[in-house]
Amino acid sequence: MPDTPEKNELTHLIDERALARRVEELAREIAAKSQGVDELVVIGLLKGAFVFMADLVRALSRCGVRQRLGFIHARSYGSGTISSGEVRLGRDLDLDVTGRTVLLLDDIQDTGHTLSVATRYLEQAGAARVMTAVLLDKPSRRELPIQPDHVGFEVPDRFVVGYGIDYGESYRYLPYIAMLADDA
């Protein structure tokens, strides 16, 4: 019987305190670049960005940034550890972004396909400006020349889990970032 995701060994990569500190720093950076924006539209890519988004929008609020929140469901991994390269957006945006400044959040920038497709979708929906922020960046895997505006941490070319990021729908609950010891 093959190992289930929960039986994989984990190696800690980024602890809770480091995550909290960096999210606060990102909020200050984003707030500075959002000056003059009446209300920032923050769009999280589900499912992986939900924990990052929850912490970041509270930090942005502490910086005085008014926000409206929404989500887009994006998929490119399925149950494996390698992006398929094919991004499917599975949920239409339920906010009008026409003429608005949008902050698009993703858990991890890997190949660049997801951020590229989602950014294009928001621009086609009429966003005046799309800023991007990712919790983790894995530049060694980039296939498209897209660089997020804000990056939490650069990580090695290993499969990571925790803080909303999953492997086969497991590990999202971890309050830290870990690497699968054997890359499953």
Residue 127 clears pLDDT 90, i.e. is over it: yes
What does the pLDDT read at residue 182? Answer: 66
Tell me how long the chain is. Answer: 184
- At 11-50, the pLDDT tens digits run 999 999 999 999 999 999 999 999 999 999 999 998 999 9
CA of residue 72 relative to chain centroid, distance: 11
pLDDT in tens, 129-175: 999 999 999 999 899 989 999 999 999 999 999 999 999 999 999 99
Q: How far is CA 166 from CA 12, 48, 73, 112, 138, in A?
A: 15, 7, 15, 18, 16
Q: What is the pLDDT of residue 66?
A: 97
Long-range contacts of 151-159 (CB under 8 A, 24+ apart): 151/109, 152/19, 152/22, 152/23, 152/26, 152/52, 153/14, 153/18, 153/22, 153/177, 155/13, 155/14, 155/108, 158/183, 159/81, 159/183, 159/184
Kindly tell me if the per-residue pLDDT of 4 is higher than 90.
no
Question: How many CB atoms sit inside 10 A of residue 22's CB?
Answer: 16
Q: Does residue 84 register a pLDDT over 90? A: no
Q: What pLDDT sits at residue 87?
A: 62
Of 25-29, 76-80, 102-106, the poorest mean pLDDT is in: 76-80
The radius of gyration computed from the CA coordinates of the chain, to the nearest angstrom, equals: 16
Mean pLDDT of 112-134: 95
Question: Residue 141's pLDDT is what?
Answer: 87
Active site residue 166: no
- Model pTM? 0.88
Domains assigned to the chain: 16-156 (3.40.50.2020)
* Choice among 110, 137, 149, 183 that is catalytic: 110
- pLDDT the model gives residue 76: 65
- Of 44, 68, 35, give the one whose Cα is nearest residue 134: 44
pLDDT at 94 (0 to 100)? 81
Quickly state the pLDDT bin for 90 (edges 50, 70, 90). Answer: low
Position 141: which residue type?
R
